[in-house]
Amino acid sequence: MAAPALLAAGVGRRFLGRWAVRNVSFELPTGALLLVHGANGAGKTTLLRVLASALSPTEGSVSVFGGTPSGARARVSLLSHADGHYDELSGRDNLEAARRLGNLTGNVGEVLARVGLATRADDPVRQYSAGMRKRLAFARVLLKSPALALFDEPYAALDADGHVLVDTLFRELHAAGTTLVVSTHQVGRVAPISTHTAELASGRLVAFGRAGTDAPGEPVSTALPTGNLAEERP
């Protein structure tokens, strides 16, 4: 039996004495599309960064395709709030540097055209609007052709056309077998195509399950302590 795309076991992450995420456990099969939602400060960003190996968990463990998250980096992409671009370089230069450094097989010109940046590809990124920077970040994800892609607020800063583009990209990636984890407040846009949903509240996974089921409560964090997590101190 193939290893799940993601396996989180009791994952917790603490920042300077505050737990941003705690006791999160779930298993996500390969090819699934997980919608992660929750209020501001619920721990969505931290959870995605831990799953992508950008942060190491303070407690618990994460397995990606049966291996360690850092060992699976070549197969994983993270689109986060910070876009990872160099402002002085052009969009094309940024992607070309990433393609060469990561030995990526994608075509820079094609992915730039796919996200609607072909005409501005040679402009410095510092001249890009926030929405264009987000499109470039999407191009970077596409360039990598990851087996697991994690998106943190993918709709933020995008216009209406951008929203449609993101919807389309999610459908295409999902159809191609990519495992997707999408953290967003635009639940209505992603829910129709999601296979699994997870809800975070105060750093806890309060619900996890297959999308569309009436009782998406399995498995969830166990032994939940009471009280506001953000107030906890070790």
Partner 1 sequence: MKEILRQCTLVVRKELLHLWRGRARLVATAAFAFANLVVFSFAGGLHSEALRTNAAGFLWVGILLASTLALGESFRVEVQNNALEAMLLLPVHPAAIFYGKAIGNLVLLTLVGMVMIPFSVVLFDATPAGGLGRLFLTIPFGAAAISAPGTMHAALSSRARSRDVLLPLLLFPLVVPGLVAAVQATQLGFVGDAMGDYGDWLTVLAGFCVVQWGLGGLLFSFVVEE
What CA dihedral angle connects 8, 142, 70 and 208, to 10 degrees?
0
How far apart are CB 85 and partner 1 at their closest, in Å?
5
The helix (H) or strand (E) run that includes residue 166 is helix 160-175
Segment contacting partner 1 (CB under 8 A): 2-10, 74-82, 166-174, 195-203?
Answer: 74-82
Per the CB < 8 A criterion, the answer to whether 195 and 48 are in contact is no
Is residue 70 at the binding interface for partner 1, with CB under 8 A as the rule? yes
Is residue 120 at the binding interface for partner 1, with CB under 8 A as the rule? no
Is residue 42 at the binding interface for partner 1, with CB under 8 A as the rule? no
| SS3 per residue for 68-79 | CCHHHHHHEEEE
How far apart are CB 77 and partner 1 at their closest, in Å?
8
Q: How many residues of this chain bind partner 1 (CB under 8 A)? A: 30
Segment contacting partner 1 (CB under 8 A): 79-87, 159-167, 183-191, 223-231?
Answer: 79-87
- By CB under 8 A, name the binding residues for partner 1: 52-56, 70, 73-74, 76-78, 80, 82-89, 93, 97-98, 100-102, 104, 124, 140, 144
